[in-house]
Structure formats: C-alpha cells, structure tokens
Amino acid sequence: MSIAANNPNLKSWVEVPANSDFPIQNLPFGIFKTNQLKPRVGVRIGNFVLDLKALFVLGYLENLPFEGSDFDCNYLNCLMSKGKKATRELRNRISKLLDENQQDLQKNLHHLEQLLISIDQVEMCMPVQIGDYTDFYSSREHATNVGMMFRDPANALLPNWLWIPVGYHGRASSVILSGEAIHRPKGQIKPDPSADPIFAPCRNLDFELETAFITFDGKPLGDSISTEEAEDFIFGMVLFNDWSARDIQTWEYVPLGPFLAKNFASSISAWIVTLDALEPFKVATPAQEPEVLSYLKYEGLKSYDINLEVAILPENNVETVISRSNFKYMYWNMAQQLAHHTVNGCNVRCGDLMGSGTISGPTEDSYGSMLELAWKGTKPLKMNDGSERKFIQDNDTVIMRGFSSKDGVRIGFGEVSSKVLPAK
C-alpha cells in the first residue's frame, strides 16, 4: 500500500531533532491541554504539538469529513468515529501542510503562533475513552516460559494455545496514562504453600511489556471481522504496561484466570501511532504450526518490526535497561486477534483497547516481565546502582520505550512510564 505521508524522503519545515520519535512520517494523535487551552486533539511533530482545533478553525482542513467538534473533544473517539478513510486523509493533509516544500502554512507566521505549541508547554491527557479492554496472551516464548515455571516443562503450552489467540476481558476503568503513579496492590497471597492464605500487599509486583491497538467502530452484534478486513478497523497502537501482581495471581487464577492480580492498573503511552504510519515496518508473522483454522488464515505481512525496551529507574535516578525485545516475535498477529475476538459475533466499538499480551523474545535479555527476566526470583537482576531486583520495589519507576526504524526513518511511541508507590 502506498500512503503519501509515509514517503521516507519527506522533510518538515518544523525542526525535528535527530533520532526523534516524531518525524513528519509519524504524526501520531493525542489529547493535550495547556494553561490556556482545554483538552483538544493534537498531532506530534518533533518537539511540538500541532493544535488541530486551531488548524480547523483557520481553514486548513477544508474538504475533509470532519467538523470542529471532532477536534474540540476530550478524547480521540470523536475523530476516530469517522473511520479509517477519513483519518488517513487527515494525516495526509497534515503531512502536506508540514512538508518543507509546501508554503501554505509555513509562510503564515501569525497562524503558526496559534498552531504550534512547544511540548514542554502542554500536559498530555488520556487519548481515548476506553469502553472495553481485552488482553491477549500471544507470545509463544512468554507462554512457554510461564508453562515451564509453573507446569510440566515438557508440555509448557496448554493444549489450546497453538489453536486460538488466548485472551481475557480486562478492566477499562483502571487503564491510566503514562506518568500517573500506582500504589502497590493488596490482596490474598499464599507465601506458605502448606498454610492458609493471608491478606497483604503484593510482594511480587511485575510489569508486562506490551503494545495495544485501538479500534474504530466494528460491525454490528452478530457479525465478524475477517483477518483480511481487520486492519481497516484498527486506528493505531500504543505502548502498554499491563501491571501484574504475581503472588495474588498464583492464588486466584484457578479456575477463571486473573482478577485482582491485573485489574488494579494498566499504563498506556500518550500518543497513538496510526497503523498507517507503521505500514513500512510490516514483516512476516512467525510460522504457525499446526495450520490454523480457516477464519485465522491470512495473506501478506501482518506483523510489525517494533523495537522495545524496558528500564527501571530507582529513586536515585540511576536507570538500568533490563530488557530489549521486539513486537515481531509475537506468534499471533493483530489481524488474527481481532478476527478471533469477533468470530462469535462480539461487537467491538470505537476506542476499544486490545493488549498484545507480554512480548518476550527468544533470548533471556528479551523477556517481557520480571517473572521471566529474574526467572521466578531465582536469578536476581543486577542494577547499575549496585542493587538487585527480583520484582519491582516501592518507588521504582518502570519505563517502556518503542520505535521502528527503516530507510533512515524512525517512527517512535515516546514512552510509557509509571512509578510504584507503597501500598495504601
């Protein structure tokens, strides 16, 4: 697919620092506010936010299927409700306006003062109003590692894992924006296998390195989305830290799966990178054996080459990168996840969030959770400040970053960051 805004030769008249996550080829969408402006839609370019409400009012978005209220909105749902074709046209128009060879906007200094706002002058807001949140379990490496730890190592994967994109329904109300701290959760844990459970703060707090995709409105209840159609129903992606209380989960997850172990918080990044912007970074999905059922079959490239890293920042501000992974390792791709989610007639809605599941690679330094990196606490990680970690400690900040790179173009997500405060 050829999308005009993805041309690797494009350069913007807006200064974009070297190695920025936000060149003209990205143009991710978010919601921002300032001391003077209430929440509204913005697009990131370099170290600036382009105010789309002002851009509309000043007449630069004429002949596009949008109204002023689509940009003067607390969430991107209004804009996303117009669908894939409309948001693609909008991104292409913005790209043209920011192109160094186009004069319409860059020569109008009076307008630029109203439209471009330095990133250090804005406060980012939750980008979408999330109606429903589903979390998948789609990394073969992660599922195998967990199976080896807690079940028979010779049969690490459960019998259904290679047949269906396993998932569960999460809690949308506790999805929070990057920068918001969380408190260590409390619940029932069973530190002594031979004794009764106790109520206490979680002792084995973990992160899960994930991405998530945000949907447009799907089909009516009873209809299904095919793998061929799936990407037309996906607006874009964010970085996603699906916090996990491992000791609470160990006790509660039989027979129905995680509950209090997961519903206390999940953190997302502020900028939604459109699936269109990620188009140049498509790669093949890992080989799937046994052959999948017909509704999960697909054609073409459906996975994405996205470099990911996780860092821990203690209170002393000495950061340690503890994992480097890649989204391309995922066994089940997003098209298959959405097709499976809807094959029974389930209706997805604009702003629904679909977590990838923990993203683990094939090597020990590419695992996507502390559970794996420290191997259930038996291999503590050495931090750059000389300390060790088996799980996340109070006052640690967990930071996840992600970007794709090809043909001299880097498309990034920024970061998702959250500090862990002591239990209340």
pLDDT in tens, 155-178: 999 999 999 999 999 999 999 999
What mean pLDDT is reported for the chain? 97
Which residue, 374, 385, 272, is CA-closest to 323?
374
Give Cβ neighbours of residue 67 (< 8 Å, ≥ 6 apart).
Answer: none
Q: How far is CA 405 from CA 10, 275, 278, 356, 367, in A?
A: 15, 15, 10, 21, 21
As a dihedral over the C-alpha atoms of residue 56, residue 59, residue 61, residue 64, rounded to 10 degrees, the angle is 110
Report pLDDT digits (tens) over 58-83.
999 999 999 999 999 999 999 999 99
Indicate whether 179 pLDDT > 80.
yes
CA–CA separation, 138 and 358 (whole Å): 7
Q: How far is CA 252 from CA 134, 257, 423, in A?
A: 19, 7, 20
Which residue, 249, 202, 261, 210, is CA-closest to 393?
202
Indicate whether 324 pLDDT > 80.
yes
CA–CA separation, 57 and 185 (whole Å): 46
Question: What token pair was written down for 406?
Answer: 């090809």
Amino acid at 392: I
Would you call 119 helix, strand, or coil by DSSP?
Answer: helix
CA–CA separation, 105 and 172 (whole Å): 39
pLDDT band, very low/low/confident/very high, at 293 (cuts 50, 70, 90):
very high
Report pLDDT digits (tens) over 77-106.
999 999 999 999 999 999 999 999 999 999
CA–CA separation, 242 and 198 (whole Å): 24
Just list the catalytic residues.
142
Q: Can you name the residues that pair with 41 across neighbouring β-strands? A: 31
Decide: residue 118, CB within 10 A, 0-12 exposed, 13-18 middle, 19+ buried.
Answer: exposed
**Helix (H) / strand (E) containing 135:** strand 133-136
Question: What token pair was written down for 120?
Answer: 């250090």
**Percent of the chain whose predicted confidence (pLDDT) is above 70:** 100
Half-sphere exposure of 10 (CA within 13 A, CB side): 25
Report pLDDT digits (tens) over 106-137.
999 999 999 999 999 999 999 999 999 999 99
Domains with residue ranges and CATH for the chain: 4-125 (2.30.30.230), 133-421 (3.90.850.10)
User: What's residue 150's pLDDT?
Assistant: 87
